[in-house]
Structure formats: C-alpha cells, structure tokens
Structure 1
Amino acid sequence: MKLRNQVISDSVIELDAKEVHTLGPNLRLENCTINSDCTTRSLIASNTEMVGGVFNQRKALKNFQFDRVIFSGVKFTGTFIGCDFGNNSESLPGKALDCDFSQAKVHDSRVYECDPERIGFPAWPRFTIVNPYLARDYVMSQAWPADMGIRMGVYTNNPPRCNAIFGDAEVFAKEYKIGQDDLRRLLEKIPGIVIVD
C-alpha cells in the first residue's frame, strides 16, 4: 500500500506483512486507526503526520525509526522494541507530541523532542526514565546485577533531546536473572524513573 499526497480522516488502515507499505510523503492521517503487522523492512514512513487515532502494532516492530513522522495525540498499542519516536537530529521533522503509550509494550525505545509531562507512560512491568541523560552519573556509580550496568549505561548515554526511554522489567529480570520485585527496588532509585502501576 502506498499512501501519499492526501488527507485521510476517520479510517482504519490495515498494513499486512505481505508487502512493503509506504506512508508519505505529504500524508496526513486524522483520527485514523493503523493496524500494523509490518516489520522494519516492510514499513516506510516519511513526511507523514498522524493526528489523533491509534497506532496498533500487532506484531513486534523492532528497531524502527519514526524520525520522519509527526505524531500528535496518538495512542500506541501493541509491541515496539528498539524503536525511536521523534527525531534524534535537528534536520529531521519527527515528533511525538501528547502521545499515549500506556497500553503499549515498549522496550529499549526512546521518545525525542517531547514534553514528558504530556506523555501517557506504559504500565509496569514497563518503566520509563525521563530525561535519561540526567540519570547518567547515578547509573554509572552503581553496582548492577550481571551485565545490567552496561544496558543502563546505554539507556542514559543519550543527548538532551531524548526526553524518555522505555524498558521492560520482564525482559530485564530474565536477562539479568533477578526477581522483578528486587529489580523494581533498584529501578525506583534512578533519577527520573516513572513506574505506573
């Protein structure tokens, strides 16, 4: 499916895994629902604006950069791993404004150039570090179980334009062989941590 040079309102857009789907350029989606089974290789999004609506990722989307998409008031559901929302460079237009991740399964994913106070944060066992660069000194001074310190170092080694990073405590607990309750106690000490029950 190729959607470009148009405004689409109040529609359901189905993106299957059978073909490459192109969103943009010059595409505006208003109060639409996107149901996506796309992989990173089967989705191209450039100069697209999505206002309101739902982006439902039914199969895990891994390592996708939404750096050329402006999301405003969008609710994300489904699974996003290693994805970036917004732009990590001033030369790119992407933004994620007033978006809701409260029902999304997000892990190793970042949000750039947003107001963290206007984000719907994902619920535990997902967690968020707001302005992770501000937590770097604390993170680097701690003794973490197994190799968790390496990942926490990566999480906090982001520029100031990265306003939030999401992690999944279930994944952490399994990888670093630590109980979720013990992990939560460690996470709760990190500056800027947000845990929603």
Structure 2
Amino acid sequence: MDWLGNVVFKDREIENERLELTDKNANYILGPNLTLKNCTLVLKAASRRLSIDRAQFVDCAFEVKQELKNYQDWIGASLKGCRFKGRLTGCDFGHWPEYSSLPWCQLGSIEDCDFTEARLDGCRIMGCDPATLRFPKWPCFTILDPIGRARELNSVEWPGGFRPIIVEGQYRDPPRTMAVTFYAPSLARRRETTEEAFRAVIEQFDCIVY
C-alpha cells in the first residue's frame, strides 16, 4: 500500500494465487495491463474503493464477502470462465463502450462465466451473449433479450407496478442490455408485494430463466 492508501496490481500476469482485497482503508486498483489466471479474489471492499481498468480474468473465482452495490467497473474487465459467489446489486458486466469515452470501458467482455452461487439483483449483461453464462436460479430470475422482448414483457401487469424493462424516456435501459437478473425477495419487498406474485407472472414467459 502506498502513502495514498492505494494497492495497485498492473503491468503483470498473476497465476494460481489467492488475492484478499479486504482492507477497508485501502483503494484497490486492478489494471491496466493486468492478467489473472486461475486466481481466487476475495472481495470485501466498498464499490468506491475497488477499480478495474482493462484487466483480464481467466478461470478466476470471485468471492464477494461484502455486498457490492452499483458497481459498473466490471465493464472495464475481460472475464472468461470465471465463477462468482456472494451478493451483487446493480452491477453491469460485459461490453458497454457508450458508458464512457475513457479507455477503461472500451474493451470489456464476459463469456463462459458462472453466477449460480451468486445473488444478483438488478445486474445486467451488456453487449455480450448471455447464452454462454450460467445464471442463479430462483429466487433470482433472469430476463433474456429484454430490449427485444420489451413489448411482450410490458404487455402484462406486473406486481407493485414493476416494469421489467424501460425503452423510452430519461431512465430507459441501454440498447446493449442483453440480460438482466433480479432477486425476487428484495424486489417484492421494494414493491410491497410477494415473491409468489412475481413468480406467477414470470412463469408466463419463455425468455425468463429461473
């Protein structure tokens, strides 16, 4: 750690190591020009203290020990064959160059990754094929091709006034949104309804994995 509290991993390749990013006072910076292969990364840091900048992760395991909220830096990562455990909320993965003109978000990608042991809520896959990914099962549910199926998805009444995808207006979902995963218990609580009410609607669609 330097005098600013930064722990920087860049300009190298690391293989078969366990990295514990757990110091609450540290700023962890992964990249640029960093490749990790067959590594385990233990994450227990707030979103504002974790930065990913053009890093490559191959066959790595991410153990998220503290809920990672509203974290977009995953789009600065190339993720292949990785596994995720823990709680992730409002995170975006994949290729989304329109997010920023900065170099770090121009090369993001995700493929062959496994989220089955993670709890995802409001997490999106951007600009990449979700068919190569494994998503968590119920009480999580994943909407595939939400932009393409928006009219169909919004044609039914969802519990609590929920709209699974927004394609117009200031808060519309980006065109690159290829999949979005929600966690039914949290969604039901926010909408003051029940998980069962959501499941009754979800079961009507073949584009939803649960």
Match of 2:158 among 144, 149, 159: 144
Output the amino acid matched with 1:15.
Answer: L
Match of 1:132 among 143, 146, 150: 146
Residue 12 (structure 1) aligned with residue 18 (structure 2): yes
Match of 1:93 among 107, 113, 130: 107
Structure 2 gap segments, 5+ residues each = 1-6
Aligned residue number for residue 42 of structure 1: 49
The answer (yes or no) to whether the contact 1:132–1:162 under 8 Å persists in 2 is: yes
* In 1, Cα distance between equivalents of 2:17 and 2:180: 30
1:146-189: per-residue Cα shift (whole Å, max 9, x none)?
A: 2313xx23499534532211100011221223222221011122
Aligned length: 193
Q: Which is further off, 10-19 or 109-118?
A: 109-118
The answer (yes or no) to whether the contact 1:170–1:180 under 8 Å persists in 2 is: yes
Aligned residue number for residue 127 of structure 2: 113
C-alpha displacement at 1:47, in angstroms?
Answer: 1.0
The answer (yes or no) to whether the contact 2:93–2:124 under 8 Å persists in 1 is: yes
CA 1:127/1:155 → structure 2, altered by over 3 Å: closer, same or farther?
farther
The answer (yes or no) to whether the contact 1:3–1:27 under 8 Å persists in 2 is: yes
CA 1:155/1:182 → structure 2, altered by over 3 Å: closer, same or farther?
farther
* In 1, Cα distance between equivalents of 2:167 and 2:117: 22
Aligned residue number for residue 3 of structure 2: none
Aligned residue number for residue 102 of structure 1: 116
Q: What root-mean-square deviation, in Å, do the aligned CA atoms of Structure 1 and Structure 2 show?
A: 1.8
Aligned residue number for residue 161 of structure 1: 176
- Any idea what SS the aligned residue of 1:185 has? helix
Residue 63 (structure 1) aligned with residue 70 (structure 2): yes
- Any idea what SS the aligned residue of 2:147 has? helix
Structure 1 gap segments, 5+ residues each = none
* In 2, Cα distance between equivalents of 1:126 and 1:58: 19
